[in-house]
Amino acid sequence: MVKPHATVFEEQVIAGRDIGYYTGNFIMKGINPPEDDSEMSERGRVVVIFRKSESGIWKLVFDMDNRPPDVQEAA
């Protein structure tokens, strides 16, 4: 796939002292390789977990996404 573009729609963000998480929906669109040139579209859900390091920087520790049939494109 070439020229991908992702949009994420926030559902929930929770942050504590040193751990936080984010949930949402995503839509990713793009164009398949030049010999095909067809458009592609993927929709799904995402969960991302961050942990605050000793230096105070938030770092990604877990990222999971899936593509259930109930995720629709936003109007």
C-alpha 29/C-alpha 40 separation (Å) is 6
Domain-by-domain residue ranges, the chain? 2-65
Closest CA to 33 of 5, 59, 3: 3
pTM of the model: 0.67
- Which CATH fold topology does 2-65 show? Nuclear Transport Factor 2; Chain: A, (3.10.450)
Q: What is the pLDDT along the chain (75 residues), one digit of tens a residue?
A: 567 888 989 999 999 999 999 999 999 898 877 677 788 888 999 999 999 999 999 999 999 999 887 766 655
